[in-house]
Every structure is written in structure tokens, then in C-alpha cells.
Copies of this chain bind each other. A is one copy, B any other.
């Protein structure tokens, strides 16, 4: 029986691709979904589809319509959500996705370096699991599938 896992978090490196590869190597029956990982495309998608917007705020608004469409569809189908926080960026999207998962009753695996324990303490307390690395998150999924 396959699990569908949504991968929330930054899109500045290839952590999702590495996770997919490791899951495959371990033979885990997991389908991973996530946001658009091409950062420029993610920012531009609103104008690419809806056309030129009058200013930067509305350019962002248009992009968010599409990015949220994608997130909502895959998160509604997901069995579990992994949310990865790092040292850089504000990552409010990640916090939003993580909190949505909690409120939807989907188990959340929060991944954050220990250095972020203070600002993420309330989110961590409501997550189902808090770990420090993506590999630990994969260990958690493997445990479910044992």
C-alpha cells in the first residue's frame, strides 16, 4: 500500500530529489509531491498564465493563485506532510503548509535544525514528529511501512 507524501519547504536546493532517490533505494512505496521547484518559474507563473499584472504586488498575487492551486490539490491527497525549515529565508509558505496539514488532521513531520527550536517551538509542539534531518523523516516513514 503506497503512501502519498507532500514535501513542503524551500525550493533552493534539490533536497526533494535526493529524498526521492533514497526512498527508491530503500524500496519504500512512497509517492512524493510538492510545490513547483523551479524558483523563477514559481514567481513568474501568474503572469505566464494570466498575463501582465499592473504592479509587483499583483504579480505576486497572480503567482500565488497558481502555487496555492498546486499545493491545495496535492495536500488534500496526501497521507503525510513533511515540512523542512532551514536557516535561510522567511519560509512563511512552509509554516503555512505545516499549519494547514495540522488543521486538516494530516500527520506532520517537521524537519528543522536544532538551532531553530525556539522560533519553531509552537509549530513543533503540534507536529506529529519533529526531527533535524530529512533522512530522519525518511526513517519515520520507513517505520510506518515496516
User: Which residues of A come within 8 Å of B, CB atoms?
Assistant: 1, 3-4, 31, 33, 36, 45, 48-50, 54-58, 60-61, 63-74, 76-77, 79-80, 85, 89-93, 95-100, 102-105, 107, 109, 114, 117-126, 128-132, 136, 139-140, 143-144, 146
- Whether B72 and A107, one on each chain, are in contact in the complex, defined by CB atoms closer than 8 angstroms, is yes
Contact (Cβ within 8 A) B109 A93: no
Copies per complex of this chain: 8
B36 touches A143 (CB 8 A): yes
Q: How far is the CA of A45 from the CA of B131 in the complex (A)?
A: 13
Assuming the A-B contacts A49-B143, A119-B90, A136-B50, are A130 and B100 also in contact, with contact meaning beta carbons closer than 8 angstroms in the complex?
A: no
Taking a contact as CB atoms closer than 8 A, the residue among B65, B119, B129 that contacts A129 in the complex is B65
